[in-house]
Amino acid sequence: MAKIVTDVVCPFCGTLCDDLEVALSDDGKEILEVYNACAIGATKFLHSQASDRLTRPQKKQEDGSWKEVTYDEAADYTAKMLVDAKKPLMYGWSSTSCSAQGVGAEIGEEVGACMDNTATVCHGSTLIAVQDVGVPSATLGEIANRADRVVFWGCNPAHAHPRHMSRYSIFPRGFFTGKGSKSRQMIVVDPRNTDTAKMADVHLQLEQGHDYELLSAIRVAIRGEKLPDVVAGISKEQIYEVADTLKSGRFAVIFFGMGVTHSLGKNHNIDIAISVTRDLNDYTKAAIVPMRGHYNVTGSGQVWGWQFGFPFCLDLTRGFARYNPGDSSSNDLLVRDELDAVFVLGSDPGAHFPVRSVKKIAQLPSVCIDPHITPTSAVSKMHVPVAFVGVEVGGCAYRMDNVPIETKKVVEPPEGMLTDEEFLQLVLNRVRELKGAA
């Protein structure tokens, strides 16, 4: 008889599903089956079981080969690199727990680092916009129970957040949405005919890169002002109709993703989408929610927000927190040659950053902390594998709607492996020793 662990939280995407069930072998050591999760979520659990998994830190040798070292040696190397550097970057932080992020923030403060998380390549523009114009938002629970107008703008949950629609946004039968998807009008705005778009009641297939203009046109239509005949490839009749649909709902919600956060205009697109939401609140209740990718990128912004006042692109080099994406953002820092060491945890810039940034990482002293062998670990000088958060160790994570959820430990990590929080604590202690000695 397999042992079943219930109420497991999926540490993959920002939907942070908390209803998973995991079947373990009799000795409780092996994950046999994952229930309720989508395919990508289940893979994350099963992947942790790979037999060829790296279980000890490795240091790259002169000839490019890897040599196993102890966690203490790895912590010493990392601490020295961070203390010696004039301007180190500590990047990532999106696939780990809030408590590990907290220890990381302490290290960053001690060594005067630039700190950045994966928002910098996905929803950073959202954070900038929120700071500029505020944000009327809601929790996914509220949305499941109330939203009768659901807009997906530049996002494709059918693939990127597979259980989002079934758990929260379209299909659930909520208190005021008793007929499930029939209670809701679904509007998708996307230049591509995605699988999400195929399900929509209305698909606005706008011209690529004209989201700002279309959102502006919706604002004009909400106010009943005159529009040109066509905006962003969409006829004015259809724009007025969509504006009316949104205004006539009891509760409208706009979900948006990388299609708007990283197309032309970036933060301005979100800024004006927030403005649309604000305008709608003159007529009905409306909220806007970013479709955050990594399961705890939101938490990383929360932790830094309460510790430093800014959610990403932190520059702590002068002993106080400064923030200005465009200057203190990791890609700009890398491309402009502003850094002399790179530390990566819980993210894979090797796969997500532009090639010219990755080349810079390869040239600098670098440490990568990641359970997997990744493009980033491959170009780093030191690779420290750690236990999987949400599988082999618990810890707090924030869902895309800023609701904190405690993830669960399901199995033990391989013998002798540290969690990232434990490893960071070693680094922090060593940093304090080195600085005390100096």
Partner 1 sequence: MAKVILTPNQTPTLFLEAENITPDVFAGKDAAEIAALHGFVGKTTVTLGDYFTIEGAGGQTAADTTVVINGDVSRVKYIGMKMSAGELIVNGNADMYVGGWMTGGKITVNGDIEAFAGLGMTGGELIVNGNAGNYLGAAYRGDWRGMQGGEIRVSGNAGSDVGTFMRGGTIVVGGNIDVHVGTHMEGGTIIVKGDAKTRVGGQMVKGTIYVYGDIDVMMPGFQYRNDSDLEVDGDKGRFALYEGDMGERHPKKKGEVIYGQLYMKY
Q: How far apart are CA 255 and CA 401, in angstroms?
A: 11
Q: Which residue of 271, 392, 401, 420 would you call a contact of partner 1, by CB under 8 A?
A: 271
Residues near partner 1 (CB under 8 A), total: 43
Query: Is 85 one of the binding residues for partner 1 (CB under 8 A)?
Result: yes
67 binds, among ligand SF4, partner 1, none (CB under 5 to 8 A by kind): none
Q: How far apart are CA 252 and CA 137, in angstroms?
A: 11
Least separation, in Å, of the C-beta of 37 and ligand SF4? 4
Q: How far apart are CA 2 and CA 22, in angstroms?
A: 10
Closest-approach residue to ligand SF4 (CB) = 41
Q: How far apart are CA 312 and CA 118, in angstroms?
A: 9
- Count Cβ atoms below 10 Å from residue 225 Cβ, excluding itself: 9
86 binds, among ligand SF4, partner 1, none (CB under 5 to 8 A by kind): partner 1
Identify which of residues 338 and 392 has a Cβ nearer to ligand SF4 in the complex.
392
Query: Is 265 one of the binding residues for partner 1 (CB under 8 A)?
Result: yes
Nearest residue to 89 via CA among 331, 346, 422: 331
163 binds, among partner 1, ligand SF4, none (CB under 5 to 8 A by kind): ligand SF4
Query: Is 222 one of the binding residues for partner 1 (CB under 8 A)?
Result: yes
Q: Which two tokens stand for residue 259?
A: 């299609």
- Pick out residues in 293-332 that bind partner 1 (CB under 8 A): 317-319, 323-327
**Do the beta carbons of residue 405 and residue 421 sit within 8 Å?**
no
Identify which of residues 261 and 407 has a Cβ nearer to ligand SF4 in the complex.
407
Q: How far apart are CA 55 and CA 68, in angstroms?
A: 10
Residue 142: its H or E element: helix 140-146
Q: How far apart are CA 405 and CA 17, in angstroms?
A: 10
Residue 100: its H or E element: helix 98-111
Of the ranges 48-56, 269-277, 356-364, 366-374, which one interacts with partner 1 (CB under 8 A)? 269-277
112 binds, among ligand SF4, partner 1, none (CB under 5 to 8 A by kind): partner 1
Kindly give the interhelix angle for 420-437 and 71-84, rounded to the nearest 10 degrees. 50
12 binds, among ligand SF4, partner 1, none (CB under 5 to 8 A by kind): ligand SF4
Nearest residue to 153 via CA among 112, 210, 98, 110: 210
Query: Is 336 one of the binding residues for partner 1 (CB under 8 A)?
Result: yes
Nearest residue to 52 via CA among 367, 414, 369, 410: 414
Query: Is 217 one of the binding residues for partner 1 (CB under 8 A)?
Result: yes
Query: Is 219 one of the binding residues for partner 1 (CB under 8 A)?
Result: yes
Least separation, in Å, of the C-beta of 74 and ligand SF4? 30
Of the ranges 96-104, 118-126, 333-341, 406-414, which one interacts with partner 1 (CB under 8 A)? 333-341
| Binding interface with ligand SF4 (CB under 6 A) | 10, 12-13, 15-17, 37-38, 40-41, 161-163
Query: Is 119 one of the binding residues for partner 1 (CB under 8 A)?
Result: no
Least separation, in Å, of the C-beta of 94 and partner 1? 21
Q: Which two tokens stand for residue 50?
A: 């790979």
Identify which of residues 358 and 405 has a Cβ nearer to ligand SF4 in the complex.
405
DSSP letter string over 377-417?
A: HHHSSEEE--PPBTTTB-EEEE-TTS-EEEE---SPPSTTP
Q: Which residues bind partner 1 (CB under 8 A)?
A: 85-87, 111-112, 128, 131-132, 210, 212-213, 216-220, 222-223, 225-228, 231, 264-265, 268, 271-272, 275, 279, 317-319, 323-327, 336-340
